[in-house]
Amino acid sequence: MESPSTKFSHLQIPLENVLEATNNFDDKNVIGHGGLGKVYKGRIFRSGKWLKIAARRFNNKHKKGIEFWTEISALSSLKHENIVSLIGFCDENHEKVIINKREAKGSLEMHLSNPNLTWIQRLRISVGVARALSYTHNEEGRNYSVIHRNISTSTILLDNKFEPKLSGFEYSITHSLHRMDDVLFSEAIGTKGYMDPEILKTGGVTHKSDIYSFGIVLWEIFSGMKALDLPSIYDRFLVSLAKFENDDVFFFKDIVLPSLYHQIYNESGQTFTSTAILCVKDERVQRPDMKYIVQQLEKALELQLPYESLNVRPYSLLFSFAIIILYIN
């Protein structure tokens, strides 16, 4: 059986080049930290030009290579404008490093509360990530599906035009399209606050687990708040608060990021939030698939576009949210 290093030999980059690019893994070049290790910025010469890179150096705990080869395998086969670009990897002298194209604006997590990130930009980010997930789950002409398992605002990167690039495929699972609705038994992996609650009940994941995580991302985009860094008055938010128990509808004016409130056209906000509600349903069977989610988010974007040049206050925003309750119930 062909080894991973042989299969992906065309993507190998000598350690000497990686050290030169990152100035010997200088801490001054660290641009991110994760469970797998530090991420370094740098520049590398490939295919006749200099490229800005993000080099993830796997720590000793993860140098057995399971997550390393999983991500390389996923990114070498998945090609989409909203998925991060793999440049290559280094597997040499006990070092394991994955080299991706560096995105100028960093992660979406860094921009959640940024008042300058407009509603229309947030809609486009949402649509882009949804398209990437729809592609990974079920792309026409491909006989396998990929479950991401690690969707969060920290694994969504933004380029210089704020176009999203989905990353973090180190825990992904590839399986047959015919088994998309089957539970794939696995340990609970991912970021706390984003994980599908059904994992603990069933002992595994399906593509609907990604949809739950994406729903949490949508609520973060709408509120500007992080899933696990919320004021105490919002300790039910993102999951429980999204269930619209009792008078939860009246929380919406306070939940939406203040800078967005006067930007959101009511029907756009209604379509966006009703989709987010469906994504975080407790039972997987109640959650829609990614194709439906893409359609709804594209609709939210289309509804918003005519009002971008008008700069007028959206009318009856809270009324729209009240309509959502009737729609969902």
What residues of the chain score a pLDDT lower than 50? 232-237, 244-250, 315-329
CA–CA–CA angle 100, 105, 106 (5° rounding)? 55
pTM of the model: 0.89
Determine how many CB atoms are found less than 10 A away from the CB of residue 283: 10
> What are the tens digits of pLDDT across the range 131-187?
999 999 998 888 899 999 999 999 999 999 999 999 999 999 998 877 777 888 777
Would the CA dihedral through 132, 22, 109, 195 be positive or negative?
Answer: positive
The DSSP letter of residue 286 is G
Q: Residue 156 gets which letter from DSSP?
A: E
**DSSP 8-state symbol, 270:** H
H or E element at residue 101: strand 95-101
Residue 246 pLDDT: 36
What was the pLDDT predicted at 4? 77
What's residue 200's pLDDT? 84
**Distance (Å, whole) CA 209 – CA 206:** 5
The whole-number pLDDT of residue 329 equals: 47
Helix ranges restricted to H, the chain: 4-7, 15-22, 66-77, 119-137, 198-202, 207-223, 252-255, 258-261, 266-279, 290-304, 317-328
pLDDT of amino acid 34: 78
221-245 pLDDT per residue, tens? 998 988 776 554 444 445 555 554 3
pLDDT at 229: 60
pLDDT at 140: 82
Dist. CA 320–CA 270, nearest whole Å: 6
Residues facing 90 on adjacent strands: 97
Q: Which domains does the chain have, with CATH numbers?
A: 4-101 (3.30.200.20), 108-328 (1.10.510.10)
Q: Rg of the Cα trace of the chain? A: 20
pLDDT of residue 3: 75
Q: Cα–Cα distance between 155 and 149 in angstroms, integer?
A: 11
What gap in Å lies between CA 218 and CA 202, rounded to an integer?
A: 25
Q: Side chain identity at 239, as an amino acid letter?
A: V
CB-based contacts of 72: which residues, under 8 Å, 6+ apart?
A: 4, 8, 11, 86, 89, 98
Specify the pLDDT at position 315: 43
